[in-house]
Structure 1
Amino acid sequence: MALELRQQLKLAQKLVMTPQLRQAIKLLQLNRLELTGALQAELEQNPALEEDLSIGETIELPPELRSSIEHTEPAQEADHTEQVAVRESLGDVNWEDYSNNFDSNFSFAHETPAADAPSQFDFISEKPGLIAYLRWQLAHCELDEKEMEVALYIICNLNRYGFLEVTIDEIIASTESNPDEVDYVLEVIQDLDPPGIAARDVSESLFLQLERMGKGKSLAAVIVRDHLSLLEVRNYKELMKVTGRKKNDILKAIDFITSELTPYPGLPYATDDTNYVVPDVYIMKVDDDYVIRLNDDDLPNLKLSSHYLELLQSGTKDLQKDSRSYIAEKVKSAEWFIKSLYQRQRTIYKVMESILRFQRDFFERGPKYLKPLILRDVAEDIEMHESTISRVTSNKYAHTPQGIYELKYFFSTAIPREGEDALAAESIKTRIRQMIQEEDKSKPLSDSAISDMLAERNIQIARRTVAKYREQMKILPVKHRRQNR
């Protein structure tokens, strides 16, 4: 078969994601803090967009000027991508037709880097952490070159809690040292600040802290070194038996351990970033009804630049064709951004309004009365696609009379009940937590006992399901909750 070039006409349907629609969808899934950054970036990069400092004044785009902008030819090569008219209502967009996944590095302004992109300051500065603190102290220790190599290997193998994650044999093999050198260097590091650093486990860390206080032979030292497992389960009777001390002495020693010592000495030096939660919407009860208010605090009111609109309206001959095309493009982009922002706020309001209708008992009486709810229920209620509901509820929080909750919290699978309405999984978790809080600490409830108690209330779930819910709520098993008196 001969190779040849040929032309062929082909008719096909193709779905195109325009930059404007992509921007609108991206705005929809931003949380409150991310939205603030997006608005600032757009204000900095688009000169046709301004902050409206007046009260109640907005500059509307004249119809004749809007027509002029839409028909202005761009200065650069024409983009054959299908365009969406600016004056079209965003509510008419068929969100179902578009993909649910988008590039996380998308930026509204082309010149602005992504939110998670490294800053230039990341390369010239660093938050001091545990390793930096220990290296600073090692610089003042009299260690030779070989000992410093061993010391650096040790501190670089400490986890975020300050515990040593390698064995002595591994240190010897990796640094080609002898056991005496490694033992000496490890003692030097364990004498550094914070007390208890470079221990192999919690028991050794607590014991090192007591030795630093001069209490290496105290009852507290005996407990943390030899009987920490009994302390974890609060088995006071066994502690009295193995130590030969009175209960009052045992309680005093345990009180000293829990109040004066820290089980994780390296944790205060962790450099993990703290994520702050700012509610996107407030739910307030006024008389017998609930009022929804979007969190617009500190968000600038946007408007189109009056100066740029005057330039386009004046039709001055001094304005070159390229300049006029640039201004028209920026004004059009600013108008779309404002409409996208309005669409975002309106969609969040409608979704929260629907959740309020479905979960009114929760807002009235608390988490125990949370009802089963899925994305499809809200989507059908407000006539939107499930993917839109998913974007709106992701990483956004509501301030309610019951506390601050992520919008995803209100969606939960259904646990059926014979002859009664189904319960939400979160509601059952709340009941389990309440049972454990009210249990007798000397005889805590086992997972089987909790399952039986729920069955008496017509909630049929297996023991392993109770265990799964308990672990999700980070509640200890029965043996670690028992407190012997």
Structure 2
Amino acid sequence: MGYDLVLEQQQKLIMTPELKLALKILQLPTIELEDLVKQELETNPVLDVIEDIPEEKPEDTDINIMDKNKLLEEIDWKEYFQYQGKSYCLENAAIEESQENNYENYVSYSDTLKDHLLFQLRALKLSKCERAIGEYIIESLDDNGYLTSSIEQISEELSLSREKIKKVLKVIQTFEPLGVGALDLIDCLLIQVNALGLADDNLITIIREHLDDIGANRLHHIAKKLSISVVEVQHYSDIIKGLEPKPGRAFSCGTDNRYIIPDVYIEKVDDEYVITINDSYSSKLMVNRYYKNIINNGDKSSDTMTFINDKISSALWLIKSLEQRKNTLYKVVKAIVDYQMDFFEKGSRYLKTMTLKDIADEVQVHESTVSRAISGKYAQTPRGLFELKYFFKSGVGSQSGEDISSESIKKMIKSIIDEEDNSKPISDQTIADLLGRKGIKISRRTVAKYRDEIGIPSSSRRKRY
């Protein structure tokens, strides 16, 4: 057995750091992209941002000294000194124009559930001990208004009797919104019906023992157990469904604010849709001239030159990647708008079936590129704010040969169910037959799937008596 040296040529796709950065930049939404650019500005001294310098307004040279003196005589100095010290600024002033949008400026404060309850607690005449118990109980509530600690735990923690804890808890349970301070769902519903004066023996029994039957619309079973009519059970069911199972969700929890910054703006101007990419940084980045001069005039062999060359290459690649992201995103969105023109003109019922391959073939890129370009990105359109993935819908075939998107079919299913007789709700098979008469080929299982996705219960649960 011999050993020989053999030369062999192979082609391999190597993911260089620059290529990885370009793919990452393409996939990032606007907010995360701005964070990345800020990080690069901090670590790369060569990279710089072009500042918007406000234009200086020319001085008015037409007014001569005599006119100025005349104006000074006409000033109401009494009024001037009355308002002296107050600052005024004209709308759309140059200083205001030079400030960039800061997302923290749009954050507003609203009372949380605990703030609202503490305000009501402090308005009552309570002893110092009772106030301390009340504050502890309120701080023990979750975002939905339920008590997360048991009475025994609170009693042990505060070294107080259970009777004192229960007394203050009863007071808190009378606060707005009704149902706060409950230990569980049943307790929450009972607090509300008692406060609203709706409680009777049958309603209390249904809440305590038959909530699952109410959820499944098994009204006949409840009527048989309580020896009452189905119509009465339906009335009790409507009362229960009108109560609030999560009293605290009407309030802000202080940490759940979510803001969506559109990556693309689509506007209709003179019967034409104009696409604008939200890129506040890509057009402002540049290589600092100071370092360019050092490269041109310095010693090419020094370590300093090597460092600056590396940083300049990194900066130029970042600027190129940002520009490439902008162009790719524009082409993809332009292809989406052209493909879904009926949606933008007529509404969501005219949304067509569209896949990544359709757009990739139009833009002449790979499907993975389209997937990265639309990942986590949103578009502000004349019809509202939509995630770009919203326009990529699967669908079913029709007799005309064109596929109809799932979103359009969901609208049709909802429209059919909205017009049904509640005493005789339409089954999934009947809906499939009705759509079949319109030329849409769809099975009963697909109807059931779409119905569940839009949050509509089955026909047995929609039936009313």
Please give the range of the TM-score, normalised by the shorter of the 2 chains.
0.5 to 0.7
The answer on whether the counterparts of 2:49 and 2:285 sit within 8 Å (CA) in structure 1 is: yes
2:381 matched to which residue of 1?
400
Distance 1:182 1:441, change over 3 A: farther
Q: TM-score, normalised by structure 2?
A: 0.65
Q: Which amino acid aligns with 1:50?
A: D
Aligned pair partner of 1:264 in 230, 246, 251: 246
**2:350 paired residue number:** 369
Instruction: Call closer, same or farther: CA 1:417–1:196 in 2, change over 3 Å.
Output: same
* Cα RMSD (Å): 4.9
The one-letter code of the counterpart of 2:244 is: T
Q: Equivalents in 1 of 2:187, 2:4: separation in Å?
A: 78
Distance 1:298 1:291, change over 3 A: same
**Distance of aligned partners of 1:419 and 1:15 in 2 relative to their CA distance in 1, 3 Å threshold:** closer
Q: Which has the higher contact order (CA 8 A, sep 6+)?
A: 1
Alpha-carbon distance, 1:343 to partner: 0.3
Unpaired segments ≥5 residues, structure 2: 54-110, 122-126
* Structure 1 letter corresponding to 2:247: P
CA separation of 1:479 and 1:360: change in aligned 2, threshold 3 A: same
How far off is 1:407 after superposition?
Answer: 1.1
1:29 paired residue number: 27
Pair 1:303-2:286 in alignment: yes
Letter in 1 for 2:389: K
Give the equivalent residue in structure 1 for 2:198: 219
Equivalent-residue separation in structure 2 for 1:43 and 1:366 (angstroms): 43
Cα separation, 1, equivalents of 2:129 and 2:5: 80
CA distance in 2, matches of 1:321, 1:355: 51
Q: Distance in 2 between matches of 1:223 and 1:44?
A: 68
Structure with max Cα Rg: 2
Residue 417 of structure 2 contacts residue 426 of structure 2 at CA under 8 Å; is this kept in 1?
A: yes
| Structure 2 CA distance for aligned equivalents of residues 400 and 390 of structure 1 | 20
Give the superposition deviation at 1:132: 12
**1:356 alignment partner, one of 337, 345, 360:** 337
Instruction: Check 1:404–1:182 CA distance in 2 against 1; reply closer, same or farther (3 A cut).
Output: same
Deviations 1:307-346 (A, max 9, x none): 211222233x6x9812222222111111111110000010
Once the two structures are TM-superposed, the CA of residue 43 in structure 1 deviates from its matched residue by 2.0
Secondary structure in 1 matching 2:397: strand
Q: What displacement does 1:302 show?
A: 1.2
Instruction: State whether residues 207 and 224 of structure 1, in contact with CA within 8 Å, keep that contact through their aligned partners in structure 2.
Output: no
Which residue identity lines up with residue 274 of structure 1 in the other structure? N
Q: 1:289 to 1:376 in 2, by over 3 A?
A: same
**Number of the residue aligned with 2:433:** 452
1:289 aligned residue (272, 276, 293): 272
* Conserved 8 A contact 1:163-1:201: yes
**In structure 2, do the counterparts of structure 1 residues 243 and 22 end up closer, same or farther at CA, with 3 Å as the change threshold?**
closer
- In structure 2, the CA distance between the partners of 1:457 and 1:210, relative to structure 1 (3 Å rule), is same
- Match of residue 45 from structure 1: 43
Among candidates 255, 259, 263, match of residue 276 of structure 1: 259
Shift of 1:223: 7.3
Distance (Å, rounded) in 1 between the aligned partners of 2:229 and 2:399: 52
CA distance in 2 between counterparts of 1:224 and 1:277 reads 44
Match of 1:387 in 2: 368
Q: Which runs of 5+ in 1 are unaligned?
A: 1-5, 56-127
Mapped to 2, the partners of 1:222 and 1:338 lie a distance apart of 72
Determine the structure 2 residue equivalent to 1:326. 307
Q: How many Å separate the matches in 2 of 1:190 and 1:461?
A: 55
User: Structure 1 counterpart of 2:40, which letter?
Assistant: E
Partners of 1:198 and 1:302 in 2: how far apart?
Answer: 54
By how many angstroms is 1:440 displaced? 4.4
Q: 1:45 to 1:186 in 2, by over 3 A?
A: farther
**Contact map agreement 2:427 2:459 (CA 8 A) in 1:** yes
Alpha-carbon distance, 1:348 to partner: 0.5
Q: Deviations over 1:111-147 (max 9, x none)?
A: xxxxxxxxxxxxxxxxx99899999x9xx9979xxx9
**Equivalent-residue separation in structure 1 for 2:180 and 2:420 (angstroms):** 37
- Aligned AA (1:29): Q
- Give the deviation of 1:7 after TM superposition: 12
Q: How much does 1:27 deviate? A: 0.5
Q: Distance in 1 between matches of 2:406 and 2:25?
A: 31
Q: Report the counterpart of residue 15 of structure 2 in structure 1.
A: 17
Aligned residues: 378
In structure 2, the CA distance between the partners of 1:54 and 1:164, relative to structure 1 (3 Å rule), is: closer
Work out the CA distance in 1 between the residues paired with 2:148 and 2:191: 17
Say if 2:425 is the partner of 1:427.
no
Q: 1:311 and 1:441, CA in 2 relative to 1: closer, same or farther beyond 3 A?
A: farther
Please name the residue that 1:80 is paired with. Answer: none
Q: Secondary structure at the match of 1:421?
A: coil
1:262 maps to amino acid? E
Instruction: Indicate how the Cα distance of structure 1 residues 306 and 190 shifts in structure 2: closer, same or farther if over 3 A, else same.
Output: farther
